Amino acid sequence: MRFRIPLVVFLLFVLGLSAVHAQRGFRRFLIEDDDAPMPADAAEKTEFTFARLRYPSGGSWGYRGHWTIDYPKADRQFVQGVRRLTRIHTRSVEEVVDLDTDKIFDYPWIYVVEPGRWILSDEQCKKLREYLLRGGFLMTDDFHGSDEWEQFMYSMGRVFPDRPVVEIEDGDPAFHVLYDLDERLQVPGIVNYPYHRTHERDGYEARWRGIYDDKGRLMAGICFNQDLGDAWEWADDPTYPEKYASFAYRVGINYIIYAMTH
């Protein structure tokens, strides 16, 4: 009898855990199954390659590092959309680049996931600054709330100590270069399943921020308090809302075309 209460509690816990685990999103949250098959045309040489930045980070995302979140499925699924929806000659697989070699200069568009965790060295900040000023474009995604913003700015502030991060205005070509994105959504991550809530931490409102060069050209598109990467990754999941997936594709494609035109 004295074991009855603990046993009931244990059984209820197991039952609850099973129920929760049965929910697909939560299951993914616990063990992100980001793997994706290697396309047959992976070796094709193309004009555009989805370049994912590998950066040093602390925190708890384990041995892979925060730069690998949604990798590589989000990347490969997103470029399928780029191929289908635009004339951009796009590679079917991503390329991982870092700020420790000059390889990054062969990829004028890079994607950074969870920059709220990055910790760039001074040398890496310097290289990123040079990359952007030469004409490279940076798209950041999937970081939320004031703490991660602060961490983001700890490095970004050293990349451009002289340039402010500003809100991108509605009329900016980045929001119109292909798709008109006057009405923008806060795209939720998979952790928000079943998506009644779209924000994480204290990042209640999606922010569209950027850094401009001296000629008014956007160098960095900073998607803050939103998770486009998850929307790309789970676009093929029937439970993920189509409106978020479609919007995330549009945002990503607009930033690529903007980077290839400005």
Partner 1 sequence: MFEFLFQHPSTLFAKGQFTLLSPWPVWVLVLLVLSAAGGLVWYALRSRGVLPKPRALVVGALQAAMAAILLLLLWRPAISVTTLRSQQNVIAILLDDSQSMGTDEGGARRIEQAVRGLEGGVLDRLRDRFQIRLYRFGGGLERLEKLEEASATASASRLGAALRETLAETATLPLGAIVALTDGADTSSGIDRETIAQIRGRKIPVHTVGYGREVISPDLEITDVVVPPRTLADSRLSAEVVFRQNGLAGKKTKLTIREGGQRGGPDGKVASGRILLTREVTLKADGQPQAETISFQAGSAGAKSFHFSFDPVPGERNELNNSLQRLVNVEGEKPRILYFEGEPRWEFKFIRRAIDEDRGIQLVTILRTTQNKIYRQGILDPTELEAGFPARAEDLFQYSGLIFGSVDAAAFSPEQQELIREFANRRGGGVLFLGGRSALSDGGWDASALAELLPVRLADRTGTFHREQATLELTPQGREHLITRLLEDPIRNAERWKQMPALADYQETGPPKPGALVLAEVAAQGRRQPLLAVQRYGRGRTALFATGGSWRWQMSQDLADRTHEDFWQQLLRWLVAETPGQVNGTTPRPVLSDESVVRLRAEVRDKEYSAVSDARVEARIVGPGGVAASIDLAPDPMEDGIYLGEWAADPTGAYVAEVLVRRGEEDAGRDVVMFHREDGVAEHFRVEQNKELLRNLSEQTGGRYYEADEIGRLPDDIEFSEAGLTARQTLDLWNMPAVFLLLLALRGAEWFVRRRWGVI
Neighbours of 144 (CB within 10 A): 23
Minimum CB distance to partner 1 smaller for 44 or for 205:
44
Answer yes or no whether residue 93 interacts with partner 1 by CB under 8 A. no
Q: How far apart are CA 45 and CA 41, in angstroms?
A: 9
CB 106, min distance to partner 1, A: 7
Return the HEC string of 166-233. Answer: EECCCCCHHHCCCCCCCCCCCCCCHHHCCCCCCCECCECCCEEEEEECCCCCEEEEEEECECHHHHHH
**Are the C-beta atoms of 111 and 141 separated by less than 8 Å?**
yes
Answer yes or no whether residue 182 interacts with partner 1 by CB under 8 A. no
Which of 80, 86, 121, 246 touches partner 1 (CB under 8 A)? 86
Minimum CB distance to partner 1 smaller for 190 or for 256:
256
Tokens standing for residue 223: 């998607």
Answer yes or no whether residue 180 interacts with partner 1 by CB under 8 A. no
Q: Between residue 57 and residue 76, which ones bind partner 1 under the rule CB under 8 A?
A: none
> Pseudo-torsion of CA 116, 189, 72, 127, nearest 10°?
-20
Which of 2, 4, 87, 196 touches partner 1 (CB under 8 A)? 87
Q: What is the DSSP letter of 78?
A: H
φ/ψ of 210, rounded to 5, equals -160, 170
Q: How far apart are CA 222 and CA 208, in angstroms?
A: 6
Answer yes or no whether residue 260 interacts with partner 1 by CB under 8 A. yes
CB 230, min distance to partner 1, A: 25
Contact window for partner 1 (CB under 8 A) among 51-59, 69-77, 128-136, 236-244: 128-136
CB 129, min distance to partner 1, A: 9
Q: How many residues bind partner 1 (CB under 8 A)?
A: 28
Helix or strand or coil: residue 54?
Answer: strand
CB 43, min distance to partner 1, A: 11
Which of 45, 161, 164, 196 touches partner 1 (CB under 8 A)? 45
CB 127, min distance to partner 1, A: 11
| Residues whose CB falls within 8 Å of the CB of residue 217, separated by 6 or more in sequence, listed in order | 262
Binding site for partner 1 (CB under 8 A): 45-48, 85-89, 102, 105-106, 108, 130, 133-136, 177-178, 215, 217, 256-257, 259-262
